[in-house]
Amino acid sequence: MKIIFYIGFVAILVAGAFGVRFEGVVTVENGETEFKLKYLTRSGIRYTSSDEINTIADNRFYSAIKRKESLAIDGDSFVFSPANRFVVVAERTYDLGAPTIVESDALLIPLFPFLDILADRKGMHTETDGNNVVFTPGVSLEQPVYAISDEPVDTTGVPGVEPDTSTVGPILKDEPRKTRWLIMVDPGHGGKDPGASAKDKTREKDVVLDISKKLCAILEVDTLFEVKITRDKDVFIPLRERTEMANSEGADLFLSVHCNAARNKSARGTQVFFLAPARSDHARATAALENASIFLEESSESDTLSDLDFIMADVIQNEFLRESSRLAVLIEEAIAKETGLPARGPAGAGFYVLNGSFMPAVLIESAFLSNSDDAALLKTESFREKVARGIAEGLRNFILELPE
C-alpha cells in the first residue's frame, strides 16, 4: 500500500512538472538584443511563466515559505506572488491588470503587462505586432499606466478580476511575513555514536553539542527566534527521528551541526551542505561519513529508511532546494567571516539526517577535526562561540533577505 501511494504521488508530481502546455512564442527586440518567451492563453489573456522569465533574469530566489518569487532583471528585483495582480519592482508597485495563476506547479504571469513594465523600467515603451514586441525609446501616451504606488502593496487581487479556475490548480494564499521563526538545532551524533575524532581523542559529538548550546543561547535572546534542540545531552538519536522532531514541532528551519574529517589531513575550513545530488567526491565522502551513524541504529530504527523513502524525501525536500542552498551560502559566509576559516563552498549531498524535512534544511560542517590547526581551534571555547555566532548571523541574513 505504501509503495502504491508513493508511485501515485510520483505520478502526480511528474504530471504537474510537465502539465503546462505553451501555445506559442513571443519574440522581444530590446535594442541590439533579442529574447523569446513562451506563452499560453487563459481567459483571453496571454500568460508566460516565471520559469520562462528566469531565462532572461540574472538570478532568482524562490521562497517556499512565503510563496513568492523574486527575479533580478537588469538590476531590478521583480517580486511576484500567487493569485496577485500586483508585482513589486525595486520597491515600487505595478498593476499587471490580472492576477497571476498557479497551474501545474508553475507561476503564470500576464505576459504583455510584464513586458510593458520591463520596458518602462528602461525608460522605453513597447510596440506590439502579433507575436513580435519591440522596445522603443521614449514614452508612449497610449501606453497603460501600470505604476500605482511607490510603496509595496500587500493585496491579493481585486474584486471582479479572477483567474479562470476551470483550468488552474489550487491557488496558494499569501501570508503575512513571519515575526518569529522556530529553529530546530540538531547537534550531530551523540551517545554510542562519537562521530569523528581528533588525534587527541576530541570527539565530534562533544564539540557540536557545545556549539549547538551556544547557538541556542544566542538565538534565544533574539525576539526573531524560537529555538528547539534535538538533544541537550550525550544521547543517541536515530537520524530519522531528528527530522521527525523538526516536522512535529513545525520548525521553520532545520540546522544539523557537525565537524568534518577527511583522509587528506591538510583539508580544512568550514562548509555547509544541503540535500541534493552530490557533484564531487568530497561531498559524497562527507555524506558517507555522516550517514555512517545509521549502522549504529537498531534494525527497527533503520528499516524504514528504504531507498524508496530516501528518493521520495528527496523529491519533497526539492521544494525547499533554493532556500536550503541560499541558507547554506549565507551561513558558510558568516562562519568564515566570524572565525577566519576558509569557506570551502556550499554543496549538495545525500545526507540521511536532512531526509524528510518539510522545511529548508542544512548540515553545517564547522571545521575539520582531522586537521591539526582546525582541531586546535575547535578545542577552544572562544572559537566554538565564534562558530555559533556565525551560524546565527547567517540565519538572520537569510530571513532578512526573504521577499516581503
Task: Give 277-313 pLDDT, tens digit per residue.
Answer: 666 676 676 766 666 665 555 644 444 444 445 444 5
Residue 130 inside a domain? The answer is yes
With beta carbons less than 8 A apart as the criterion, state whether 15 and 141 touch.
Answer: no
Q: Based on the domain organization, do 220 and 344 belong to the same domain?
A: yes
Q: Based on the domain organization, do 133 and 191 belong to the same domain?
A: no
| Residue pLDDT, tens place only, 173-186 | 344 457 889 999 99
With beta carbons less than 8 A apart as the criterion, state whether 47 and 168 touch.
Answer: no
Three-class SS of residue 343? strand
Residue 201 inside a domain? The answer is yes
The residue out of 149, 171, 190 marking a domain boundary is 149
Residue 8 inside a domain? The answer is no
Q: Is-above-0.75 flag for pTM?
A: no
Q: Based on the domain organization, do 115 and 236 belong to the same domain?
A: no
Q: What percent of the chain has pLDDT over 70?
A: 73
Q: Based on the domain organization, do 145 and 186 belong to the same domain?
A: no
71-80, 164-173, 358-367: range with lowest mean pLDDT? 164-173
The residue out of 149, 164, 196 marking a domain boundary is 149
Residue 234 inside a domain? The answer is yes
Residue 2 inside a domain? The answer is no
Q: Based on the domain organization, do 239 and 125 belong to the same domain?
A: no
In which element (H, E) is residue 260 found?
A: strand 253-260
Average pLDDT over residues 110-135: 91
Q: Based on the domain organization, do 47 and 140 belong to the same domain?
A: yes
Q: Based on the domain organization, do 91 and 186 belong to the same domain?
A: no
Q: Based on the domain organization, do 116 and 187 belong to the same domain?
A: no
Please check the confidence at residue 154 and state whether its pLDDT lies above 50: no
Q: Based on the domain organization, do 203 and 352 belong to the same domain?
A: yes
Residue 167 inside a domain? The answer is no
> What pLDDT score was predicted for residue 66?
60
Range of the domain at 319: 181-401
Q: Based on the domain organization, do 226 and 280 belong to the same domain?
A: yes
Q: Based on the domain organization, do 344 and 210 belong to the same domain?
A: yes
Residue 52 inside a domain? The answer is yes
Grid coordinates given for 193: 555514536
Cα separations in angstroms, 279 against 98, 218, 264, 273, 343: 42, 34, 19, 12, 17
Q: Based on the domain organization, do 388 and 251 belong to the same domain?
A: yes
The residue out of 100, 129, 149 marking a domain boundary is 149
Residue 166 inside a domain? The answer is no
Give how many domains the chain has, as a whole number: 2
Alpha carbons 196 and 369: distance in angstroms, whole number:
7
Residue 298 belongs to a domain with what CATH number?
3.40.630.40
In eight-state DSSP terms, residue 236 is: -
Q: Which residue has the higher pLDDT, 110 or 310?
A: 110
Residue 342: closest CA among 362, 365, 325: 365
Residue 121 belongs to a domain with what CATH number?
3.30.457.10
> What pLDDT score was predicted for residue 316?
52
Alpha carbons 362 and 348: distance in angstroms, whole number:
9
Beta-bridged to residue 124, according to DSSP, are 137
Cα dihedral: 232, 234, 235, 240 (round 10): 60
